[in-house]
């Protein structure tokens, strides 16, 4: 009888321990498998500075007394103050003032450094429902193409990429856009609806620009070819009704620890008003930045543009330089670049002399 009672007591104790262990496991397992998102609001500040010393070898100019000189100057090309933050894991924002030289004729600030907005947008993160890195933006923000290519071509502090430098695209505009990352790093899609005038001008009419870019990595698993991407971009806009403003770009890039390289082909169509004829422009840019493992890099770039395919004029630009990227921890970057920028003009109206600038460019990005 005592043995039976003892057996019952032992059995009950074992059952209680088993239930408690099961309850503990049921409580621990979800916590180990699920980490709630961080909802703590946060804000960060950073800076981006472009500076240079530029010597204009060609053409010569004249000073106030009529003396022939080679113009030279120390410049601050751009100074950004980047303020970014998160309201929650779903909502982020960015505000970036752009400090640049005022060059408007007749302005009381002509020649002064002025403060203007480059970016000011809210971002709604869609990671809970789509692939990581998918989002919706509303406000003054990056346009799909320039921000994409500048992430591969790191020498914006020397000068803009080909479509931007030739005035066909703007890097920022007010509007709404959607970005989607393809699964397993196969590429991404960015489509936006913008004013079309760019961040430096107000909206001038009732027309809007539709811009779309798609990029694809065919070989994400290959140890070398995973750095190869092909991309296409289209911008459909209008100066006024029935007067189109269109741009199309085909691009391929390659990223490797020893070299980044790219090729752009541009086709543009402009009709300023219904009374004007349509002007077609075509051109291409090819560039490479060979890299060493100790911070030294080369910069080689060639741009070719036909501003009007119905005329014979062309513009050719060659850029060559050597840079040193200082070692840092994290995503900050500092670099110095010595470069020669050489531009020639053939059969253009009005005629323009050859331009050659020798410069030392500096970058601070924190």
| Rounded distance between C-alpha atoms, residue 26 and residue 18, angstroms | 12
Which of 353, 247, 261 has the alpha carbon at shortest distance from 300?
261
> In whole angstroms, what is the distance from residue 264 CA to residue 283 CA?
8
Contacts of 100 (CB under 8 A, 6+ apart): 77, 78, 79, 113, 114, 116
As a residue count, the chain comes to: 366
Confidence of residue 33 (pLDDT cuts 50, 70, 90): low
For residue 2, what pLDDT is reported?
39
Q: Please check the confidence at residue 5 and state whether its pLDDT lies above 60.
A: no
Q: What is the tally of helices (H) and strands (E) in the chain?
A: 3, 18
Q: CA 163 to CA 180: how far, in whole Å?
A: 24
Q: Which pLDDT band holds residue 222 (cuts at 50, 70, 90)? A: very high
Decide: 215 and 187 in contact? Cβ < 8 Å: yes
Greatest pairwise CA separation for the chain in angstroms: 124
Q: What pLDDT, on the 0 to 100 scale, is given for residue 201? A: 87
Compute the average pLDDT of residues 212-239.
95
Of 29-38, 59-68, 221-230, which gets the smallest average pLDDT? 29-38
Query: How far is 40 from 329, CA to CA, in rounded Å?
Result: 25
Q: What angle do CA 33, 37, 41 make, to 5 degrees?
A: 160
- Alpha carbons 186 and 197: distance in angstroms, whole number: 32
User: How far is it, in rounded angstroms, from Cα 330 to Cα 334?
Assistant: 12
**Ordered DSSP codes for 115-136:** EEEEEEEEEEE-TTTSSTT-EE
Closest to 301 (Cα-Cα) out of 79, 73, 100, 149: 149
**Per residue in 228-282, pLDDT tens?**
999 999 999 999 888 899 999 999 999 999 999 999 999 999 998 888 899 999 9
pLDDT at residue number 109: 59
- Banded model confidence at residue 15, pLDDT cuts 50, 70, 90: very low
CA distance 92 to 84: 8
Q: What is the pLDDT of residue 24?
A: 41
Note the pLDDT of residue 331: 81
The overall average pLDDT reported for the chain is: 88
Convert the pLDDT of each residue in 118-172 to its tens digit.
999 999 999 999 999 999 999 999 999 999 999 999 999 999 999 999 999 999 9
Question: Which has more confidence, 17 or 326?
Answer: 326
DSSP assigned state of 60: -
Mean pLDDT of 330-355: 92
Greater model confidence, 258 or 21: 258
Lowest mean pLDDT among 34-38, 48-52, 125-129: 34-38
> Which residues, listed in sequence order, are joined to residue 336 by a DSSP beta bridge?
324, 362
Radius of gyration of the chain, Cα coordinates, nearest whole angstrom: 28
Q: What pLDDT, on a 0 to 100 scale, did the predictor assign at position 35?
A: 78
pLDDT of residue 14: 44
Q: For position 8, what pLDDT does the model report?
A: 43
Number of CB atoms found within 10 A of residue 287's CB = 22
Q: Is the pLDDT of residue 49 over 80?
A: yes
Q: Is the pLDDT of residue 346 over 60?
A: yes
Residue 246, CA distances (Å) to 206, 265, 273, 279 in order: 16, 14, 14, 11
pLDDT tens for 85-119 read 999 999 999 999 987 777 665 556 566 778 889 99
First to last CA, the chain: 81
Q: What is the pLDDT of residues 71-82, one digit of tens each?
A: 999 999 889 999
356 pLDDT higher than 80: yes
């Amino acid at each position: 009888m005592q043995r039976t009672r003892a057996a019952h007591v032992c059995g009950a104790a074992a059952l209680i321990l088993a239930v408690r262990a099961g309850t503990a496991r049921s409580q621990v397992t979800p916590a180990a498998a699920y980490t709630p998102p961080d909802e703590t609001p946060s804000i960060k500040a950073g800076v981006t500075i472009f500076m240079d010393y530029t010597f204009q070898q060609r053409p010569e100019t004249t000073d106030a007394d009529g003396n022939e000189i080679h113009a030279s100057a120390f410049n601050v090309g751009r100074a950004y103050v980047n303020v970014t933050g998160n309201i929650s894991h779903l909502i982020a924002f960015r505000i970036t003032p752009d400090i640049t030289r005022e060059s408007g004729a007749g302005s009381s600030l002509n020649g002064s450094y002025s403060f203007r907005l480059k970016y000011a947008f809210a971002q709604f993160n869609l990671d809970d429902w789509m692939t990581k890195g998918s989002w919706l933006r509303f406000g003054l923000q990056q346009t799909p193409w320039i921000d994409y290519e500048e992430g591969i071509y790191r020498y914006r502090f020397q000068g803009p990429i080909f479509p931007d430098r030739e005035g066909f695209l703007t890097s920022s505009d007010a509007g709404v856009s959607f970005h989607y990352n393809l699964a397993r790093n196969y590429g991404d899609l960015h489509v936006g609806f913008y004013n079309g005038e760019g961040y430096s001008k107000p909206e001038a009419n009732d027309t809007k620009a539709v811009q779309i870019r798609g990029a694809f990595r065919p070989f994400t698993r290959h140890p070398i070819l995973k750095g190869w991407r092909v991309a296409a971009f289209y911008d459909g806009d209008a100066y006024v009704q029935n007067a189109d403003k269109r741009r199309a770009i085909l691009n391929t890039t390659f990223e490797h620890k020893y070299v980044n390289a790219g090729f752009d082909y541009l086709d543009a169509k402009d009709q300023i008003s219904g009374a004007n004829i349509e002007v077609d422009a075509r051109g291409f840019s090819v560039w490479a930045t060979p890299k060493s493992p100790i911070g030294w890099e080369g910069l080689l770039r060639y741009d070719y543009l036909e501003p009007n395919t119905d005329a014979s004029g062309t513009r050719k630009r060659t850029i060559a330089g050597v840079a040193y990227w200082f070692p840092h921890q994290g995503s900050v970057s500092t670099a110095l670049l010595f470069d020669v920028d050489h531009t020639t003009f053939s059969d253009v109206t009005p005629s323009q002399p050859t331009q050659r600038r020798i410069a030392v460019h500096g970058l601070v990005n924190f």
